[in-house]
Amino acid sequence: MSNANVIRVGDDYDVVIGNGVLDQVVAAVPDGAQRVLVVHAPVMADAAATIAAAATAAGLEPFVESLPDAEAAKTADVAIRLWSVLAEAGFTRTDAVIALGGGATTDLGGFVAATWLRGVPVVQVPSTVLGMVDAAVGGKTGINIPEGKNLVGSFHPPAAVICDLDLLHTLPRADLVAGLAEVVKCGFIADPRILELAADPDAALDVQGAVLPELVARAVQVKADVVSADLREAGLREILNYGHTFAHAVEQVSGFSWRHGDAVALGMVYVAELSRRAGLIDDALVARHRRALQTVGLPTSYSIDGDVDERWRALRAAMGRDKKTRGSTLRFVALTDVAAPTRLVGPDEDLLREAFDAVRS
């Protein structure tokens, strides 16, 4: 594991980042386990079989379950199916779950682990850039309901997070690009060096090169630093939701047809436009948002078919259900400068609409 970068999250767990580190997964299962449930995204069947074989070799009894693709995995029905598997297999509190896949898989796997017998260990094995830098790190787990995304969930720190960069070879370019939205986000809220590295899109998207591993490690470090200081999103951790208020609304209104990263990119442009109108930032920083995101191939505008006013009303209602909302007051993570996050609380309704009009194509 000489090529691996190990980042400690508080006093709780390690995030291992490197090529060929899949052999660390079973080793990360806590002592005392007799059984492991390996849940995996459909495209990760071969890697799941490799992990299951390693579990058997280590004296564990593996159970392997394939999940529906992407957000379709994050439902109560899927969670119930997995709880039934755990019940029938006799899983106890010392047994463990291994979640292998993108952010939806790690969210669902973590939620099942958090809720089975009020909490069993989970080892997160993200297979996408988005999963590595966002979903799998930090202990936030959850599922969706028709009324909104991630409204049902639990904080459940993993036993370990194993980021094998070799798994990214299977990723379509569009998913690689979408994953960079959360990386660029970390650049804007905390680490400007990320924005410099991402300015060369060919290097940033090269899974064989040296830049993408550094981008992943830097984004994980940003998240680890924030999460270590605020496990349960009492304050500081909200900065990780930069761009997410509008992004989650777009995802919900589109029936989750938008990739999460694409929606986050649009959400960052939206809140930048909103922040400029509220007097927090200047035109140059808004332009830098658009430039940084466009450079790596992320969307910065929103095409609308149909009635614009009706779409706005749907988006505004969805934003009102955001987890950061308090009562009827919208709260946005905003910036006063790069790496200088703040909060924008209760912006004027006219400004909200003007920012929406600014991101419409």
185 is in an annotated binding site: no
Whether residues 33 and 49 fall in one domain: yes
Do 207 and 129 reside in the same domain of the chain? Answer: no
At 61, which helix (H) or strand (E)?
Answer: strand 61-66
Residue 69 assigned to a binding site: yes
Strand partners, 17: 5, 163
The annotation status of 169 as a binding-site residue, yes or no, is no
Q: How many domains does the chain have?
A: 2
Task: Please check if 238 is assigned to a binding site.
Answer: no
Domain final residue, candidates 170, 197, 220? 170
Please tell me the predicted confidence (pLDDT) of residue 323.
64
Write out the E strands in 115-184: 122-126, 140-145, 148-155, 160-164
> Is residue 194 domain-shared with residue 50, that is, in the same domain?
no
Whether residues 42 and 117 share a domain: the answer is yes
Amino acid at 299: P
Neighbours of 257 (CB within 10 A): 10
Residue 72 is labelled as binding a ligand: yes
Q: What is the pLDDT of residue 1?
A: 45
Q: Is 104 annotated as a binding residue?
A: yes
Looking at the fold, whether 189 and 61 belong to one and the same domain comes out as no
pLDDT at 86: 98
Alpha helices, DSSP H, located in the chain = 24-27, 45-57, 76-89, 103-115, 129-130, 173-189, 192-197, 201-204, 211-229, 244-253, 260-277, 283-295, 308-320, 349-359
Domain residue limits at 166? 5-170
Answer yes or no: is 149 a known binding residue.
Answer: yes
Tell whether 292 is in a known binding site: no
Which strand ranges, in their side-by-side order, compose the sheet holding 35-40?
5-9, 13-18, 160-164, 122-126, 96-101, 35-40, 61-66
Q: What span, in angstroms and rounded, lies between the C-alpha atoms of 18 and 37? A: 24
140 marked as part of a ligand binding site: yes
* 324 among annotated binding-site residues: no
> Does 140 lie in the same domain as 267?
no
- 58 appears as a binding residue in the annotation: no
* 214 and 326 both lie in a single domain: yes
> Any idea what the CATH number is for the domain that residue 110 is in?
3.40.50.1970
pLDDT at 10: 83
Residues 28, 106, single domain; the answer is yes
Residue 329 assigned to a binding site: no
Enter the pTM of the model: 0.89
Nearest to 182 by CA among 108, 236, 122, 240: 240
Name the domain boundary from 102, 137, 170.
170
Token pair, residue 144, equals 């969706």
Residues 165 and 227 in one domain: no
Domain-terminating residue out of 127, 145, 170 = 170
Neighbours of 21 (CB within 10 A): 21
CATH code, 315: 1.20.1090.10
The residue type found at 10 is G
Tell me the catalytic residues: 118, 140, 182, 223, 233, 237, 241, 244, 248, 260
pLDDT digits (tens, 9 = 90+) for 75-134: 999 999 999 999 999 999 999 999 999 999 999 999 999 999 999 999 999 999 999 998
My answer on whether 199 and 294 are in the same domain is: yes
Q: Are residues 166 and 181 in the same domain?
A: no
**Residue 177 and residue 166 share a domain:** no
- Residues (pLDDT < 70) of the chain are 1-2, 136, 230-234, 323-327
At 268, list the tokens.
């960052």
pLDDT value of position 231? 61
